Structures are given as C-alpha cells and as structure tokens.
Amino acid sequence: MKTPGRVLIAILAATTFAGCANMNAQQKNTAVGAAIGGVAGSVLTGGSAVGTVGGAAVGGVIGNQIKK
C-alpha cells in the first residue's frame, strides 16, 4: 500500500475544500482540476509521487483554462 500518495491527496482535498469559500469560478476550476489530476496521475503511475504532482500540475492548468 502506497500511503504517501494517499496522504498527499487527503491534504490536497482538505485544503481545497477549506479554502473554496472566497474563490471565483476560475480558481475553483483550477483547484478541482489539480485534485482530479493528482488522483489520476497517482493511479496511472502506480502511486508515484512524481506522477501525482505531475498530474496535479496538468490538471490545474486544464482547470484554469476551462471557461476562460
């Protein structure tokens, strides 16, 4: 069981949901994209930290560009 990836995902989710109250739509899309990308990157690379961070970065960029 790869726990570092799960811990990173839990921390990311907690900070995302805690800070969403004052965000505009583009900021929320960026945060959601980063969270989804992090999970996808972790799954696709077998829990690799590099895959998780890379997926979060790509997901954040895509989320930022949605409805811009």
**Confidence band of 64 (pLDDT split at 50, 70, 90):** very high
- Residue 36: the pLDDT is 92
Question: Where in the chain are the domains?
Answer: 26-68
Write the DSSP assignment of 30-59 as a string of letters.
Answer: HHHHHHHHHHHHHHHTTS-HHHHHHHHHHH
Whole-model pTM: value is: 0.68
**CB hemisphere CA count around 48 (13 angstroms):** 8
The residue to which tokens 């811009």 are assigned: 68
Over the chain, what is the mean pLDDT? 84
What the block records as the tokens of 19 is 């800070």
Q: What is the rounded radius of gyration, in angstroms, for the C-alpha atoms of the chain?
A: 12
